[in-house]
Amino acid sequence: MSDDLKPTYTEKGKAFERDMDYIPDRILAGEHSADPDDATYGGRDPERDGIQVWPVEPGRYRLVAAPACPWANRSLIVRKLLGLEDVISVGLPGPTHDKRSWTFDRDPGGVDPVLGIERLQQAYFNRFPDYPKGITVPAMVDAESVAVVTNDFPWITHDFFFEWKDHHREGAPDLWPAAQREEMEEVMKRVFTEVNNGVYRCGFAGSQEAYEAAYERLWTAMDWLEERLATRRYLMGDAITEADVRLFTTLVRFDPVYHGHFKCNRNKLTEMPNLWGYARDLFQTPGFGETVDFEQIKAHYYVVHTDINPTGIIPAGPDPAVWETPHGRESLQG
């Protein structure tokens, strides 16, 4: 999801609203999804809703995911956790861009070495010449036609788990445990609406009233998470799930960006013992920390959001070394 898009305000209170209308296509292993709870494509009808189904084919697709973006960071983590590096290649746009698109400015010659394009926008226009919406990451791109397949970020990681199972590494984690599915969906919904999107609701609030309401909602959820993690190592218990991936990408950006830049400053993450220990625990787990680039994260928010930070000055801190300190969460393992 491109964080540079202009926020949409309601008429009353100028509250931030996120546009969740993405390209709905899916990459599926068979006629229907392998997810037993998703036999009808997540409640959407392919013919009615214009969904095109693409086949799972190793080497066919390129995941374009800017490390700076929390929504893209999810897909990078899940790809690594499941061991899909050899079947789904990855393109990494740089952290700063103009209003048109994410760019591959950190690749040699400023061109993605597989897709042969300078801007992700080109892959969108190859599929939809008059694409009217924001050019967002993560995006799955068909490498042969260099055309975007989907940018529907919640379904991208969902399908990495359910549809690419034949290509998972041995011992890959069960990110969607069936026995906890119902509760996990509820937890993920609250994490998304109140925390993942809650920090943006604070940062892009268009009035004092909207900001204060967003701030209260965010911290109510953060306190709920602090309490939940007092007695369990991960959000759903003893094992990492998709819910942890979704929360982590916001937590790892909290002190470097959201605390000050988005005015989420009741306290720092480092001042919440359970959440801070939990975040470090995940960071130090293979698949998480190596996808995090604090330099790119800060460059994106502080340079691209000119309305919030017109000077473009990037803060020097905090010291990322704190993420490698002992977390002590092992004692909560059942």
Tokens encoding 214: 């967003």
pLDDT tens digits for 210-224? 999 999 999 999 999
Is 102 marked as a binding-site residue? yes
Fold topology of 180-332? Glutathione S-transferase Yfyf (Class Pi); Chain A, domain 2 (1.20.1050)
Residues with catalytic roles: 69, 200
Answer CATH for 8-167 from 3.30.470.20, 2.40.50.100, 3.40.30.10, 1.10.10.10:
3.40.30.10
What pLDDT is stored for residue 2 in this prediction?
46
Q: Is 286 exposed, middle or buried (0-12, 13-18, 19+ CB in 10 A)?
A: exposed
Separation of alpha carbons 10 and 3, rounded Å: 19
Separation of alpha carbons 126 and 41, rounded Å: 25
Who's near 301: CB < 8 A, 6+ residues apart? 3, 68, 253, 257, 261, 309
The model carries a pTM of 0.94
pLDDT tens digits for 318-328? 999 999 999 99
pLDDT tens digits for 169-211? 999 999 999 999 999 999 999 999 999 999 999 999 999 999 9
43: confidence class by pLDDT, cuts 50, 70, 90: low
**Per-residue pLDDT for 39 more than 50?**
yes
Q: Check: CB of residue 299 under 8 Å from CB of residue 67.
A: no
Name the residue ranges covered by the structural domains of the chain: 8-167, 180-332
What pLDDT is stored for residue 30 in this prediction?
81
pLDDT tens digits for 123-141? 999 999 999 999 999 999 9
**Cβ atoms within 10 Å of 22's Cβ, excluding its own:** 18
DSSP states along 46-110 = HHHHTPPEEE--TTTEEEE--TT-HHHHHHHHHHHHHT-TTTSEEE---S---SS--B-TTSGGG
Separation of alpha carbons 38 and 101, rounded Å: 32
